[in-house]
Structures are given as structure tokens and as C-alpha cells.
């Protein structure tokens, strides 16, 4: 309903069962947070109130001119759009088909071509409108490069997105509508457990890109893929805000949404209650328009915009100070929406399985953009830069039988040039049969990732696990998980070791050193330890270590680096796995971030408990054995390690012949040299 008073900001939380992805689960759902985001901006910069008032004054001037006879001719405004898919896991990396589905639904709703228009009640049919606005995927990027209007980036902020997601990537907001697609949205002040479906920026003169555009959950887009068959209208609703439309319940019965043909609504609607009439002060007294896209009714109830809403949207697109440049002829040419597209090709691809076992196939998915039909040149190179595969198919699947670390490159040749993308050391192939370390494996963390023993689960987030020379339990380095960089709420990347061969005798044990600190007492990080006996095809969780057990230091608010005394060992008995015969085992460490600080891992040991009959008889021996002091290891060559029976390394040296052993406290030890294990008793 029209009002000359400025619209009040409304803060709404709905406790309901809303939309297919949440069916059967009672959740606090907030369908839109555009008003809340606006309130946060005002709190940060009170001038936003004045800018909004200036925008409204300009729109009212345009509308008055239209009523005076200066009405614009009927024209369909096209707006270039780019979807930034900010994925955290592969399930968030939604398909091109789902994006196209979302765009189809949006444009049908904008043009009143949606298949459910007949559901609009007769009392409102005369006010229904075709907004004459269409959104088109950009074909040219901001630097003249070819594009399909869809960017894909791994981004940890996808878990709890707000305007933090807009810094990279962001295309010029004067040329494109930027839509960031995320897993979850988290706004300051929102109650814990609230699920926000989306939000949009309202236009004003000079709005910066970091504030502009739309942020939306991926399961609220389209009707396929993660949308689970529902015809979602969240994007339609947020585009309405982008074009400066307010909620129909804006200001309740007293103020309204600045549109005379939308009856006032006391509060947001839910469900499909066609008998609802929450305001009776309008003339004529009409029921609530639950069919309007700018309410919170169920998706299946929404089906219309109104003529007055169309006038407001057109006013925004008429003003060059608001959204007018987007639909200008020059901008449509520049973004490839109209005219001849002339752009430089862009090579891009995804590696769906960067960690695999020998004999598995590497799958490469083309994400390139170009004019016409390009020629593909894929190269897979070994660590020594030898070409292992060269293929020209668009989406190849390639066998990699030999263990090692591989690089992948794609050169795209198109009619307007060529472009190459390299992803060095991006694929790790593990042997199905592990390297024998019987009866001990000691995983030192001296080498950069990935290497012959260790790799991370994904290429996109490999930077979160890295070698650190700043701290070590033994040797010169450990593996650091940079948890201090993350927000709480997810498992980013796993560190995977192996496979390692184990014998068919004794009880299998896993032991590792770790150092960790919390940033606050309520941090709830968890380290999950899993093992696999089939080269990672399936994993079995064997231990969850919560933050209070994982921690080795007091609360540290700066990026944590442990002191030498801030290390702790954790042992996991693997007897329950029932591994009765010899085989191969992989180990996986994954930190579920709960707001804590950095995690360090070192000295990973996989061993069997030895009996006397399991000792190896070789021409290497300890004399005397047992001994009190002065023991000699005869015939030794290479590295020598002495461990206590819990698996803790107590001494290490190198030998080229007989080697004097240290004087150790009384007890039983295992000496490991060149694959040979000897029992040593100190009296």
C-alpha cells in the first residue's frame, strides 16, 4: 500500500518448516535478511539513511513524471549477471544446469511467464504485471575475457557468508549483477541456529561492490540439483530488493511498501493462507496478497508482481545513478549480452579426485570459456616433468597406474587466441600395496606436501595443510593445519598418509604427536582420526579428540606456534578393526574447525605389539643384550632408531658399521635399523 512515510525496517524470524531442503526438520528460518543487512550498514555508517532517502526521492520524482504523462515506452530491460559459486565441498559446487534452472525461473517470474500465474486470485488479476526485466549470463568478463557467466571458487567463507564473500571475486557492480552462491549465511546479531536463505543490497548512488549484489544459499536456487525439486522463489524475491522493492509487510498496516496496489500486511506471511487479512484499514479492504513475490509465503503460493512494483523497478532502471547503466546498450555490448562477442579464451578446469590410488582414473572437468568450438590440449606430467598423458578430449578420464605426484595443464586454442592453465603437483597417486615398514612405521614430517607418504584430500584447500619448520616434536619440521585462518563450522581438508603395509601378527597401534591451542574457552574444535584398508575407498572413524583433550597449551589469541614442551602423544589401539591378516592401511587426520588456533602433527607411528617370537634374526645384533651400559650395535648401516614399547622415539643416530648405543633407563626397547627390529633390554 502506498505511503509517503519512509518504510520501517522489519526484523523477522520464522519458526516453521520451510522449503524442501528443510522438510521434516524444525528450524528457525529467515527467508530474507536484506533489512537486517541494511540495519548493519546503517549502524556502521549512519549516512546510509540519508543515501536511502535520496534514492527514494529520486524514484518518487521519476514516478511523478510518469503520472504526469512522461511514461516510458514498453521495453524489456536486459541485465548482465554473473554467478559466483563459492563452494566449500563438492556438494556446494552446483551444476551449470542448476544455475540455468534458477535463471529460467527468475526470468519467467520477472516476465509473468511462470506456469502458476492462473493461481492468482481474481481480486488481484488486474494489478498483475510483467516487469519487463530479463537477466542474461554475461559472455564477456570485466577484462575482456570470455565467460559463461559462472565463476567457481573454493572459499571457506561459504560456510558462514555475508559481505565477507564479496571481496573475491567481484565484478564491477555498474556492469553486472553479482550473485554469490554459498552454503550458509551468517549475519552479526542473528540468533544461533538461524538459517538465512538470502539477502540483497538496495540501490543507492555510488554503492560500492563490497555492499552490492545478492548472496543466496545454493539449495535455494532453481528446481534441480540441491534445490531438490522445489521451484524456489528466493532469487526472485532478492532481485526485487535489488530493484528497490520492499517487503509487502514493510511497516505493517501503518506504512506499507510504497505501492498502492499491494494491500498492507501486518507481518510476514507463511504457508498459503488465502483467508488471511491482517490489515483492515485499507480501502477497499482486501485480503493479504500472499501471492506477491515480496512476501514470505511458501514458494508454491508466490506468483506475481504488481503494476506499481513494476513502476518502481522501471524507475531504478531508468536512473543512470542507480541501475540504469546495467541495461544500457553500451553495457550490453561490453558484457556480451548483445552484438558480436569478441573475447579472449580462458582455460579453466577442475580435478574431481586429486588424491587417488594406482589403477584409478583421474577425472578432469573442463570449465573453460571461449568463442566457437575450441581445441583442448591436456598434459599430465610426472614430478620430473615427463609427459604421462597428452589428450585432446574435452573432459578426459585418464588412468594413472604409477604412484607419484603429478601436474596437470590445459591449453585452450580458440578462434581468438589461446590460453593455458597449469596446476602443478595437484594430483597424488598412492600405491595400492603399501611400503613395508614392519613392524614399525614412523611418519616424519620433513618433506613438503604432497610427498611419497603424505598428501591432502583436495587441491583447492591444500594451503591449509603445510610443512612448518617453526615447530617439531622430532626432526626439523611438522605438518601445520592453519586453523587460525578459519571460521568455525567445518572440516576443510584432511591430511592423508599411506598406504603402509602392516604384518599379520601382533596388535596394530597408531600413535602420533600433536600440539594445539584454543583461542577461547568455548572453542569446540575436533580432530577426527580415520583409517582405510582399501586405499581410501571407504574410511572408518577410530577416534574423535575434542578441543580440551587435543590442547597442549593455554588459550592463545595470536597464531599458535608450540614450544618444545607443548607436545602430547595420543595412541589409538586398532584391534577393534579386526585386521587379522597382513594388509595395507591409510591414515587420515581431519580437523573440524570450532574457532580454535593452529594444529601441528608430527611423529606418526603405526606399529604392532611385539612378542619374542616376532623378533627378526639378521646379521645385525646388540651385544651384550641384556646390558647395563656400553652396548654395541654390530653390523649396523644407515639410520638407527630406538623406541620404547609405547612407540615413543627415545634415540636416533646413523651408522656405518658398529655403533655405540646410549645408556638408557632400565626397561625394554625396540631398535629399528634398515627394516630390521631387535628387542633390547637395559638392566
What's the CA gap between 614 and 621, in Å, rounded? 15
**41, 58, 238, 566: which one is catalytic?**
238
Q: Which three cell numbers stand for residue 215?
A: 548472496
Burial class (CB in 10 A: 0-12, 13-18, 19+), 273: middle
List of residues 6+ apart from 152 with CB closer than 8 A: 85, 87, 93, 350, 367
Please tell me the predicted confidence (pLDDT) of residue 641.
Answer: 84
**391-447, pLDDT tens digit by residue?**
999 999 999 999 899 999 999 999 999 999 999 988 989 888 766 554 456 677 889
The pairing of beta strand 508-516 with beta strand 599-608: antiparallel
**157-174, pLDDT tens digit by residue?**
888 899 999 987 789 999
- Looking at the predicted structure, is the pLDDT value of residue 346 above 50? yes
Helix axes 234-242, 96-110, angle to 10 degrees: 60
Please tell me the predicted confidence (pLDDT) of residue 674.
Answer: 64
Using alpha carbons, select from 329, 319, 159 the residue that is nearest to residue 244. Answer: 319
Using alpha carbons, select from 467, 463, 464 the residue that is nearest to residue 454. Answer: 467
Please tell me the predicted confidence (pLDDT) of residue 461.
Answer: 52
**490-514, pLDDT tens digit by residue?**
666 789 998 887 766 567 788 899 9
Phi-psi region of 344 (alpha: psi -120 to 50; beta: other; left: phi over 0): beta
Please tell me the predicted confidence (pLDDT) of residue 274.
Answer: 92
Helix, strand, or coil (residue 613): helix
What's the CA gap between 64 and 489, in Å, rounded? 50
Termini Cα distance of the chain: 94
- Looking at the predicted structure, is the pLDDT value of residue 15 above 60? no
Better-scored residue on pLDDT, 307 or 359: 307
Q: How confident is the model at residue 242 (pLDDT cuts 50, 70, 90)?
A: very high
Using alpha carbons, select from 285, 356, 310, 293 the residue that is nearest to residue 74. Answer: 310
Using alpha carbons, select from 387, 365, 600 the residue that is nearest to residue 484. Answer: 600
Mean pLDDT of the chain: 87
What mean pLDDT do residues 167-186 have?
93
Q: How confident is the model at residue 8 (pLDDT cuts 50, 70, 90)?
A: very low
What's the CA gap between 380 and 339, in Å, rounded? 38
- Looking at the predicted structure, is the pLDDT value of residue 123 above 90? yes
Please tell me the predicted confidence (pLDDT) of residue 357.
Answer: 87
Please tell me the predicted confidence (pLDDT) of residue 441.
Answer: 63
pTM for the predicted model, two decimal places: 0.78
**How many Cα atoms are found within 13 Å in the side-chain-facing hemisphere of 87?**
18
Q: Determine which of 49-53, 489-493, 563-567 has the lowest per-residue pLDDT on average.
A: 489-493
**How many Cα atoms are found within 13 Å in the side-chain-facing hemisphere of 126?**
2
Please tell me the predicted confidence (pLDDT) of residue 504.
Answer: 64
Query: Cβ distance 331 to 80 under 8 Å?
Result: yes
Please tell me the predicted confidence (pLDDT) of residue 3.
Answer: 41
**60-119, pLDDT tens digit by residue?**
999 998 887 766 568 999 999 999 999 988 889 999 999 999 999 999 999 999 999 999
What's the CA gap between 617 and 614, in Å, rounded? 9
Q: How confident is the model at residue 10 (pLDDT cuts 50, 70, 90)?
A: very low
Using alpha carbons, select from 354, 464, 491, 25 the residue that is nearest to residue 219. Answer: 25
Better-scored residue on pLDDT, 487 or 6: 487
Domains of the chain with bracketed CATH? 14-67+76-334 (3.40.390.10), 351-430 (2.60.40.10), 435-608 (2.60.120.200), 612-682 (2.60.40.3080)
Please tell me the predicted confidence (pLDDT) of residue 434.
Answer: 66
**385-400, pLDDT tens digit by residue?**
999 999 999 999 999 9
Q: How confident is the model at residue 581 (pLDDT cuts 50, 70, 90)?
A: low
| Residue 448: CB atoms within 10 Å | 11
What's the CA gap between 594 and 165, in Å, rounded? 20
Sign of CA dihedral 307, 312, 315, 317: negative
Is-catalytic flag, 238?
A: yes
**272-301, pLDDT tens digit by residue?**
999 999 999 888 999 999 999 999 999 999
Using alpha carbons, select from 215, 282, 209 the residue that is nearest to residue 248. Answer: 282
**679 - beta bridge partners?**
670
**350-375, pLDDT tens digit by residue?**
998 888 888 889 999 999 999 999 99
Distance set, CA 467 to CA 154, 312, 348 (Å) = 21, 56, 28
What's the CA gap between 204 and 663, in Å, rounded? 78
Amino acid at each position: 500500500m502506498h505511503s509517503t512515510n519512509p518504510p520501517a525496517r522489519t526484523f523477522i524470524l520464522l519458526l516453521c518448516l520451510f522449503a524442501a531442503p528443510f522438510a521434516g526438520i524444525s528450524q528457525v528460518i529467515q527467508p530474507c535478511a536484506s533489512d537486517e543487512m541494511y540495519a548493519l550498514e546503517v549502524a556502521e555508517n549512519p549516512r546510509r539513511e540519508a543515501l536511502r532517502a535520496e534514492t527514494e526521492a529520486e524514484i518518487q520524482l521519476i514516478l511523478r513524471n510518469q503520472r504526469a504523462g512522461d511514461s516510458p515506452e514498453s521495453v524489456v530491460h536486459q541485465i548482465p549477471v554473473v554467478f559466483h559459486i563459492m563452494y566449500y565441498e563438492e556438494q556446494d559446487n552446483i551444476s551449470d544446469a542448476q544455475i540455468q534452472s534458477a535463471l529460467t525461473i527468475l526470468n519467467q517470474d520477472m516476465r509473468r511467464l511462470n506456469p502458476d500465474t492462473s493461481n492468482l486470485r481474481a481480486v488481484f488479476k488486474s494489478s498483475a504485471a510483467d516487469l519487463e526485466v530479463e537477466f542474461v549470463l554475461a559472455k564477456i568478463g570485466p577484462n575482456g575475457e570470455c565467460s559463461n557467466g559462472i565463476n567457481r571458487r573454493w572459499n571457506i567463507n561459504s560456510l558462514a557468508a555475508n559481505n565477507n564473500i564479496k571481496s573475491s571475486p567481484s565484478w564491477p557492480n555498474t556492469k553486472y549483477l553479482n550473485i554469490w552462491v554459498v552454503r550458509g549465511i551468517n549475519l552479526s546479531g542473528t540468533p544461533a541456529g538461524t538459517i538465512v536463505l538470502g539477502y540483497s543490497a538496495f540501490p543507492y548512488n555510488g554503492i560500492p561492490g563490497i555492499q552490492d549484489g545478492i548472496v543466496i544459499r545454493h539449495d535455494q536456487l532453481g528446481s534441480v540439483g540441491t534445490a531438490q525439486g522445489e521451484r524456489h522463489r528466493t532469487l526472485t524475491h532478492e532481485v526485487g530488493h535489488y530493484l528497490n522493492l520492499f517487503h509487502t509487510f514493510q511497516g505493517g498496516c501503518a506504512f506499507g511498501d510504497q505501492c498502492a496496489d499491494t494491500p498492507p500486511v501486518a507481518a510476514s506471511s507463511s504457508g498459503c493462507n488465502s483467508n488471511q487479512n491482517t490489515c483492515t484499514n485499507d480501502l477497499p479492504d482486501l485480503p493479504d496478497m500472499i501471492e506477491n513475490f515480496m512476501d514470505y509465503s511458501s514458494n508454491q503460493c508466490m506468483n506475481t508482481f504488481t503494476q506499481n512494483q513494476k513502476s518502481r523497478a522501471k524507475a531504478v532502471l531508468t536512473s543512470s545513478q542507480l541501475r540504469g547503466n546495467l541495461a544500457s546498450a553500451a553495457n550490453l555490448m561490453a558484457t556480451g549480452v548483445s552484438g558480436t562477442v569478441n573475447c579472449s579464451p580462458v582455460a579453466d578446469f577442475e580435478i574431481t579426485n586429486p588424491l587417488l590410488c594406482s589403477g584409478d582414473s583421474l577425472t578432469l572437468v573442463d570449465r573453460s570459456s571461449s568463442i566457437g568450438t575450441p581445441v583442448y590440449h591436456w598434459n599430465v606430467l610426472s614430478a620430473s616433468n615427463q609427459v604421462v598423458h597428452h589428450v585432446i578430449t574435452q573432459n578426459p578420464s585418464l588412468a594413472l597406474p604409477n604412484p607419484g605426484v603429478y601436474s596437470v595443464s590445459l591449453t585452450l586454442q580458440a578462434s581468438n587466441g589461446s590460453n593455458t592453465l597449469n596446476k602443478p603437483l595437484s594430483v597424488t597417486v598412492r600405491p595400492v600395496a603399501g611400503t613395508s615398514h614392519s613392524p614399525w612405521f614412523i611418519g616424519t614430517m620433513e618433506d613438503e606436501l604432497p610427498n611419497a607418504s603424505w598428501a591432502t584430500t583436495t587441491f583447492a584447500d591444500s594451503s591449509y595443510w603445510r610443512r612448518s619448520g617453526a615447530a617439531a616434536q622430532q626432526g626439523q619440521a611438522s605438518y601445520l593445519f592453519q586453523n587460525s585462518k578459519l571460521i568455525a563450522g567445518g572440516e576443510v581438508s584432511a591430511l592423508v598418509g599411506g598406504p603402509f603395509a602392516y604384518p599379520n601378527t601382533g596388535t596394530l597401534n597408531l600413535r602420533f604427536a600433536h600440539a594445539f591451542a584454543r583461542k577461547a574457552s568455548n572453542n569446540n574444535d575436533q580432530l577426527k582420526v580415520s583409517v582405510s584398508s582399501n586405499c581410501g575407498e571407504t574410511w572408518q572413524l577410530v577416534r574423535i579428540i575434542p578441543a580440551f583433550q587435543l590442547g597442549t597449551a593455554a588459550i592463545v589469541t595470536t597464531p599458535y606456534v608450540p614450544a618444545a614442551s607443548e607436545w602430547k602423544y595420543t595412541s589409538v589401539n586398532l584391534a577393534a578393526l579386526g585386521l587379522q591378516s597382513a594388509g595395507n592401511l591409510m591414515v587420515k587426520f581431519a580437523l573440524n574447525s570450532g574457532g580454535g588456533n593452529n594444529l601441528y602433527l608430527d611423529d606418526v607411528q603405526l606399529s604392532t605389539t611385539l612378542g619374542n617370537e616376532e623378533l627378526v634374526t639378521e646379521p645385525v645384533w646388540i651385544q651384550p643384550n641384556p646390558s647395563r651400559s656400553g652396548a654395541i650395535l654390530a653390523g649396523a648401516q644407515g639410520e638407527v632408531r630406538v623406541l620404547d614399547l609405547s612407540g615413543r622415539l627415545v634415540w636416533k643416530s646413523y651408522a656405518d658399521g658398529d655403533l655405540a648405543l646410549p645408556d638408557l633407563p632400565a626397561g625394554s626397547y625396540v631398535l629399528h635399523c634398515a627394516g630390521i627390529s631387535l628387542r633390547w633390554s637395559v638392566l
